[in-house]
Structure 1
Amino acid sequence: MKLQHYLGGLEGLGPVSTETRVFVETWETRIFGIHTAMMALSSQLPLPRTSSTFTTVWTWADLRKGAESLNPFDYFKFRYYEKWLGGISGYFIYNGYITAKELDALTEEYYNDPSKSVPAAGDAAIDDRVVQYLVEGDSPKRDTNVSFDFAVGDFVSIKNVPSIEHTRLPGFLRNKNGTVETVYDGAYVYLCDTGTDGIGAAMPVYCIRFEPEDLWPGNAEKNFSLYADLYAHYLEAPAAASAKQAA
């Protein structure tokens, strides 16, 4: 998110795609379906048992980490669902479901014969589990007692946390100040532990309002505000931020 993964506020990056279709090509729907099935089969929700051999955990965070680990030049070269495909493929190789050699051989087969049929589905239990997962969802909200350090109207500073693998903090908000617009009820977990980035366990989430002129001085439109939902770990009181800078 500090590099190619979040580009908000940067200039001179070339034309911006305005494509509005969710899926541009048919194969993209299959990638989305594979991703959804992987989440459903690894979910800890009380869902129907299946005969699937998929035994590891796959979440949105794993998908994002797979895309974000790409070489920056590849990241810009590939389309949206191509990044998904790369992340999913890498995950299956890393977890031993298939070897890179086997995947390359299968890829070559389909390149040589595009009309070659793909494996057919047919396990009703897996289908039922995926459908139930889609219907019920998997909420990150937890009904646990947490303390709220900030209230609506509080002025807060955004930390510049040390991120290594994955973060949910946009780069252009780091070291900036904003105002608490909403304090969400309850506590919210993240899909994985982000290490030094600091999120994973259940914690409060706040909606913070930022003024564009403060984010991009002298280079922002007027008469609107920018809002971001941020985990509590990313926030601190302005006094604490000033003390760190002084030190």
Structure 2
Amino acid sequence: MSRVHDMGGRFGDGPIVPESEDVIFHADWHPRALALTLAAGSLGQWNIDVSRHARECLAPKDYAAFSYYEKWIAGVADMLVERGVVTPAELSGACDAQISDLATKKLTADQVAGVLARGGPADRDSAVAQAFQIGDAVMTRRIAQNVLVAGGHTRLPMYAAGAKGKILRYHGTHVLPDSNAHRLGEAPEPLYAVVFPASELWQHPEHPRDEVVLDLWQSYLEAV
């Protein structure tokens, strides 16, 4: 089944039009959407992979119609209801909102700079042995799918499925999104930068000698 959000390398979506680096937000509510997403994330009810999957799970018609920050807001709303932080009635304004037990965990304005500076490192210790070395030839899974959860989240894009490349860099062991997005544990494993020639990814690349580098987890790869 195709995933509506997996648009990388897809034909028919028109050209990419770069924007000025001076343009950060296009509407007054965009920074508020970003702030709300960060504040809600501090409640500790989900991780970054869960939040990404929430946006992927939007109805295809909504995903296609929504703007970037509309997708963010819709994903946050779904997670807040799913975790019982708010009720659908509260969210729609059909009843008065109640103070949540999680209110004390809210991210306050004076905490924002420190939280953003710390970030959310995903590198972890792991017992999973490094299987590949720099320069090794590898191939990605022939189907870009989550093998733990049917139809689940994965960071292997469809355009790179079944492609042959080489290990460019070893990043250490990192949280596996395919597991973490479904609350199955972090399951850290080796993460690599893999370089692919454009001719391996697309049948008629405009510049065949171009290369694309993707960060891919070990379980996405096999030796060639």
Deviation string, structure 1 residues 92-120 (Cα, Å, up to 9, x no partner): 1122222222222269xxxxxxxxxxxxx
Partner of 1:183: 170
Larger Rg: 1
Partner of 1:54: none
Q: Is the 8 A contact 1:183 1:205 kept in 2?
A: yes
Residues 124 and 218 of structure 1, relative CA distance in 2, 3 Å threshold:
closer
Distance 1:193 1:145, change over 3 A: closer
Contact 1:199–1:233 at 8 Å: present in 2 too?
no
Q: Could you say what the CA RMSD is over the residues aligned between the two structures, in angstroms?
A: 3.1
Cα gap change, 1:65 to 1:195, in 2 (>3 Å): closer
Aligned to 1:150: 132
The 3-state SS of whatever aligns with 2:131 is coil
Distance 1:125 1:103 in 2: 18
% identical aligned pairs: 30
Comparing both structures, which one devotes a greater share of its residues to helix? 1
What residue is the counterpart of 1:25 in the other structure?
27
Q: Is 1:87 matched with 2:94?
A: no
Alignment gaps of 5+ in structure 1:
43-56, 108-122, 239-247
Q: Which runs of 5+ in 2 are unaligned?
A: 96-103
CA distance in 2, matches of 1:199, 1:214: 33
How far did residue 154 of structure 1 move?
Answer: 0.7
Q: Letter of the aligned partner of 2:118 in structure 1?
A: E
Residue 29 of structure 1 deviates from its aligned partner by 0.8
Are 1:132 and 2:119 matched, yes or no? Answer: no
Match of 2:154 among 141, 159, 167: 167
CA distance in 2, matches of 1:65, 1:195: 6
- Aligned positions, number: 209
SS in 2 for 1:6: coil
Which of 162, 168, 189 does residue 203 from structure 1 map onto? 189
1:11 match: 11
Aligned to 2:194, the other structure's residue is in SS state strand
SS at match of 1:228: strand
2:83 paired with 1:100: no
Check whether the contact 1:40–1:129 (CA below 8 A) recurs between aligned residues.
no
- Whether the 8 Å contact between 1:9 and 1:172 is mirrored in structure 2 is yes
Does the 8 Å CA contact 1:59/1:191 hold for their aligned counterparts? Answer: no
